[in-house]
Amino acid sequence: MAASNQKFISDAEVVVVALGDSKARARISLASSRIMYLQEPMIAVDHMVLVAVALGYGTRWIGAFNEKEVKRILRIPEDLRVVVLLLIGASDENPPARPRKAFGQIFFEEFYGNPLKL
Ligand SMILES: Cc1cc2nc3c(=O)[nH]c(=O)nc-3n(C[C@H](O)[C@H](O)[C@H](O)COP(=O)(O)O)c2cc1C
């Protein structure tokens, strides 16, 4: 199975397969340009999540997949990377939001670990 036996994937109405091209010429010459081909598809997918949710659909990120298998099945060229899969569809459940970390546990100021105070 190409996605770690997560059978619910085939129930999704839409499965977006986000690809990155590691050979795409970096537009900026910073160290981060080495991973821009991974960052950019994630930005695109996150925007898809926002729009899908705003339209009333459910989404799920799928990071657990066998890249080689996904590429083989979809005939994706060898030099492209599969970055993430995104499921989009009508939700059959509407679970409450899971507990979140406190603001100061994830936003820091000045240095890592120093809670941001607003
Ligand atoms: C990068 C990434 C990869 C994920 N991969 C999977 C996955 O392979 N299978 C899965 O069931 N959920 C996966 N999830 C989690 C689901 O998308 C999950 O439903 C969602 O993150 C929970 O959202 P919540 O934090 O709003 O509750 C992944 C989430 C992220 C951010």
| Residues 62-116: tens digit of each pLDDT | 999 999 999 999 999 999 999 999 999 998 888 898 999 999 999 999 999 999 9
Which fold, 7-92? NADH Oxidase (3.40.109)
Tell me the C-alpha to C-alpha distance, in Å, between residue 99 and each of 61, 69, 113.
18, 34, 20
Q: What is the pTM of this model?
A: 0.86
Mutating to test ligand 1, I would choose from 60, 70, 98 the residue with most ligand atoms within 8 A of its C-beta, which is 60
**pLDDT-derived band at 11, boundaries 50, 70, 90:** confident
- Edge to edge, the sheet with strand 14-21 lists 14-21, 80-89, 58-62
Length of the chain: 118
Task: Indicate which residue's Cα is closest to atom 30 of ligand 1.
Answer: 61
For the record, the structure tokens of 32 come out as: 């981060």
Indicate if ligand 1 lies below 6 Å from the C-beta of 61.
yes
Position 1 scores a pLDDT of 57
pLDDT band with cut points at 50, 70 and 90 for residue 2: confident
User: What are 19-64's pLDDT values in tens digits?
Assistant: 999 877 666 666 566 788 999 999 999 999 999 999 999 999 999 9
pLDDT of residue 4 exceeding 80, the answer is no
Residue 104 is encoded by which pair of tokens?
């100061």
- pLDDT confidence of residue 9: 84
For 27, the token pair is 């537009």
List the domain boundaries for the chain.
7-92
Asked if 83 contacts 62 with a C-beta cutoff of 8 angstroms, the reply is no
